[in-house]
Structure 1
């Protein structure tokens, strides 16, 4: 007899969910790229994190979005200061 254990229904459902969502494919691609690296990185987990995130976004896109976020936050801060100034002036009248 073999040591085959049937996969329970919850596991199988979860596996199908991961396949449908593209998670299995993304993980496979990252792991294959790590396998094909000629010089293996010291921190394999960091490699996976870096390259898994890179599947959905390009780093230039991320940089542009961060710059836009910083500019927007600076504008919000400036507008809050102006609003506080106007509220102070309106309260003195």
Structure 2
């Protein structure tokens, strides 16, 4: 699993990672979600899908990526360089 894009929020970092079979995965910190055929679908899933169950690692409260400003366009993300997998 290789993290290729990231977006920082006040509660932690979201990633788009690519698996060994070429699928793309939205991630929050080290938690991986559903696989997508392309990175654009993975980005849109994080930006619009309210079905992800995320818990704040310190507070234990549920998080909704749609409320955290996760961008739906690749231009809002940064390329991972030197980010450990």
- The verdict on a shared fold, with TM-score over 0.5 as the criterion, is no
TM-score by length of 1: 0.22
Q: Which has the higher contact order (CA 8 A, sep 6+)?
A: 2
TM-score by length of 2: 0.24
